[in-house]
Structure 1
Amino acid sequence: MPQKNMNDRVYAHWANLLGCDYSQLIAPTVSVVKHSEGLNGYNGIYFFNNRTSCIISAPPKYISELDKAVGGLEPDQAFNGDLLGHSIGDGHIKIIGPAFQGYVDSDSFLQASSPSVVVLETEHHKALLKELRESCTEIEWQHSSIDEERSPILLRILNGKAVAAGSWRKGESGFLSIGIISHPSYRGQGHAKTVVNALTKQGLTTGATMHYQTLESNTSSVAIAQSLGYVRLGRTMAIRLS
């Protein structure tokens, strides 16, 4: 089935990033592994959970304590930042997540009928994007992963104002990861979905699998992805250590 093929590609990517065997992602298991090359240097703990398994990646010095902490736990039970942060005795941690990891390919895309968007090309478009950025917090902008020097950037313009913008970045896996932001005064009106729909459609024409990441607490963003056919194939969480 097409969906299984997408799953294979996604799990192969995560196995490579986490430095584990593909089989560990498709069997009921909890595994603690040391940071692979992809996470080398990250001073923290990174989790991947797909309801079947939970892979926990950490610096070598924490492996033993984490193994003890998750011994006998089910995958969903081990996906617990508070539990694992406490197990290593670090009183200064920051938990980021859980985050939704959604994917869609041409077989599962639910294309929406939506208003038009424009490609950022002119100085006027750049000025509109600058105004949109200034309307949002710096954290919101960082989470959007929009880079003015990277194309494509799509804008949804309403009454002379950029009310939403989006782009993608290509990861080492070859997946195209969408970033999206909307104007605070125009949220909940479908503008972000319009841009995500257009980006997804354009990306899929290249033969890519599209990736959408957002915090699970951002339920409206998750809803946008799922309404377009993005399937949650994983959840992630990160613990940043002091």
Structure 2
Amino acid sequence: MVQETTRDHVYRNWAERLECDISDMKTPKLIVRQHSGKLEGYHGIYCFYNGSTCVISAPPKYVPQINIAVSGCRPDEAFDVKLLARSLNSDNYQVIGPAFQGYVDCGSFIELKSPEVVELVTEKSLVLLQDLRKSCSETEWEHSNIEDHRQPIIARFYDEKIVAAGSWSVERSGFLSVGIISHPDYRGNGHAKAVVSALTSKGLTTGAIMHYQTLKSNTSSVAIAHSLGYKELACTLAIKFSNLSLLK
């Protein structure tokens, strides 16, 4: 289990992002509010649920309609894309999620060591990444958090090629958000897990809390997180408007 101080740090970060009080994160509550602070100007509806509290943030136009839609609902019942989408009176939206928001600290990490996992630090080794990139979609590559000139980049070698690689991005909170990508022909063999483990181990030595985000529908990715000790402390859901006229 993650330490209580870690849990508190995570929920303070979410409370700040959603402009709620930290106490709102710890008691069963359903909150519907208009976008403000870091979500002001967000083109869609953003929802947070941590097993107790559900926060729904929306453009001012939709707050009354959402309040009607979730009236009488428990927090877990309100965290429902079909229920919320009905308040839009439109089909011009894109759903992202539900998304797993996992966190791990030194007390909960379950390390998997692998000698075939190395850190790429030379231009020559970075060139090998291009074959991996070509094997995957651009969306998958973006989610890997890999940038050629930003360290660390950690890779798993197999059959004399890179079959999985990953990096992290530094969030405003100071958390390190892990990204991973693996070759389609080599998935399901533990390569991605080995890379995530190495990244997590390296990040934890800096004193950071590690963050792992993936779609809940990506069960293999969620399984990797759970197997390494990541705890789901939140779940998020975004309904993004395809047509900005919906805001008017």
Aligned to 1:47: 47
Q: TM-score, normalised by structure 1?
A: 0.96
Q: What do residues 148-177 of structure 1 show as CA deviations (whole Å, max 9, x unaligned)?
A: 232111111112211000000110101000
Stretch deviating more after TM superposition (168-177 or 105-114): 105-114
Map of 2:76 onto structure 1: 76
* C-alpha separation in 2, matches of 1:60 and 1:125: 50
Which ranges of 4 or more aligned residues in structure 1 deviate by more than 4 Å? none
Q: Per-residue deviation at 1:2?
A: 6.1
Matches within 5 A, 1:1-242: 3-241=3-241, 242=243
Name the amino acid aligned to 1:99: A
Quick one: distance in 1 between partners of 2:178 and 2:193? 12
Q: CA deviation at 1:110?
A: 0.9
AA aligned to 2:91 is G
Q: Does the CA-based 8 Å contact 1:115-1:194 persist in structure 2?
A: no
**Residue identity in the other structure for 1:123:** E
- Matched AA of 1:227: S
Cα pair 1:156 1:191 within 8 Å, conserved: yes
Say if 1:31 and 1:55, in contact at 8 Å, map to a contact too.
Answer: yes
Q: In 2, distance between residues paired with 1:99 and 1:2?
A: 19
Is 1:20–1:33's contact at 8 Å kept on the other side of the alignment?
no
* Superposition deviation, residue 140 in structure 1: 1.4
Distance in 1, matches of 2:94 and 2:191, equals 32
Corresponding residue SS for 1:38: helix
Unpaired stretches in structure 2, ≥5 consecutive residues:
244-248
CA distance in 2, matches of 1:86, 1:144: 33
Give the Å deviation of 1:28: 0.7
Shift of 1:113: 3.0
**Aligned mates of 1:239, 1:130 — CA distance in 2:** 33
For residues 102-160 of structure 1, the C-alpha deviation after alignment (integer angstroms, 9 at most, x for no partner) is: 00001111112333322122222222111101100122112223222321111111122
Aligned residues of 1:155 and 1:195 also touching (Cα < 8 A):
yes
TM-score, normalised by the number of residues in structure 2: 0.94
Amino acid paired to 2:26 = I
Q: Match for 1:68: what amino acid?
A: I
Gaps of 5+ in 1: none
Instruction: State the AA in 2 paired with 1:195.
Output: V
Q: Cα distance, 1:208 vs. partner?
A: 0.4
Q: Tell me how many residue pairs correspond in the alignment.
A: 242
- Name the CA distance, whole Å, in 2 between partners of 1:239 and 1:176: 25
Change (3 A) 1:228 1:29: same
Structure 2 CA distance, aligned partners of 1:85 and 1:110?
A: 39
Identity %: 56
C-alpha distance in 2 between matches for 1:94 and 1:66: 17
Moved more, 196-205 or 111-120: 111-120
